Amino acid sequence: MNSHPTPIENIVIDHLFEWLGERRENRSMADYAAIARRVPKIDAVHAYVNERLRALKASGTEPYQICRFAAGSEKITYEPFPASISRETVRRALKNFGLWRLR
């Protein structure tokens, strides 16, 4: 794993693992490599995640709010759960989680 995914990137990974029928748990590198080989193209992941986010928004469900608090912050702020994400966010999520490198 390269770096830790941001809260938004974690949403992408959560939905991707759901789509693949996997659970987020500790695994060996070989297991992660097998999952990475099953990851569809970025456009497909982007479309699926945005479809799921739109469905959550339409149902009035907001699982949680996102806190961007970081070391040195003086104020804690929250933002609403996203209704959509960008392709770049999907790409960064795969990269930061390590799935991009394992493909």
pTM of the model: 0.86
Cβ atoms within 10 Å, residue 74: 5
Tokens 């799935």 belong to residue: 99
Q: What's the sign of the alpha-carbon dihedral 66, 69, 42, 33? A: negative
pLDDT digits (tens, 9 = 90+) for 27-86: 898 999 999 999 999 999 999 999 999 999 999 988 999 987 778 888 888 999 999 999
Residue 103 has pLDDT above 70, yes or no: no
Q: Which amino acid is at 49?
A: V
- Domain ranges within the chain, ordered by starting residue: 7-102
